[in-house]
Amino acid sequence: MNIRKRLFLCALLGAFILTFIALPPGTLSLDEIKIHQQALLSHVEHAPLQSALIFFALYVVVSALSIPGAAILTLLGGALFPLWEGTILVSFASTLGATLAMLASRYLLRDWVQRRFAQQMKTVNAGMAHDGAGYLFALRLMPLFPFFLVNLLMGLTRIGLRRYWWVSQLAMLPATVVFLNAGRELGKVSTLRDILSPGMVFAFTLLGLLPLVTRRLFTRYTPSSKK
């Protein structure tokens, strides 16, 4: 690892430690945001623009550093802001944070992984070049794959930055709206499982797989593919 990457890694660790100090364990918990909900609502009413900017910046930092709490922040966004405003804030903040996390993974790890697992990554790169958007879309929609893990894995591939951004933003939008809408009645939410029922998880999984399955069927059964 060269000196630039070491300095970058140190900067990341420093940012993580500072954020951990500013947000000690339990701060981004469901019980904690319920306790402070009225005080936060009052702050939003008195300083709406400042509140929106602080919320946006906090969301970017949490998602970029892969700190647990993005789902709780989304609920909080639903409780503090109108649905349309919360959707804009969370959608762009989560995508920006995910993109920064992906770029960090790419900068620190991709070259080493590409060399160390050259044969395996050759297959992965071919698949991503052929249908990278479909794979990313499916991974984003499937709740079984954690947010930070998708960022890490995509950083190891050769997916383009622009494609990564728009696919991530589009694929994360349904869950964003669901959590924001649930946050509008925050007092009735006792656990995150109250929001993502098994049926909804299954529906998101099917939605994520639909583009891949459709493309495979189209490729398989079109006349040109049979020549």
Among 101, 103, 10, residue whose Cα is nearest residue 60: 101
Which structure tokens are listed for 183?
């946050």
pLDDT of residue 103: 94
Among 94, 9, 12, residue whose Cα is nearest residue 60: 94
pLDDT of residue 200: 67
CA dihedral 71, 73, 78, 82 (to 10 degrees): -140
pLDDT of residue 227: 46
pLDDT of residue 206: 73
Among 67, 71, 61, 89, residue whose Cα is nearest residue 183: 71
Q: What is the pLDDT along the chain (227 residues), one digit of tens a residue?
A: 688 888 888 888 898 888 888 887 778 888 889 898 999 999 999 999 999 999 999 999 999 998 888 999 999 999 999 999 999 999 999 999 999 999 999 998 888 888 888 877 787 787 787 778 888 988 888 877 888 889 998 998 888 999 999 999 999 998 899 899 988 888 778 777 777 666 667 677 777 776 666 666 555 655 554 44
Integer angstrom CA distances of residue 189 from 75, 148, 195, 196: 9, 24, 8, 11
As a whole number of angstroms, the distance between CA 186 and CA 211 comes to 33
pLDDT of residue 112: 82
As a whole number of angstroms, the distance between CA 202 and CA 210 comes to 12
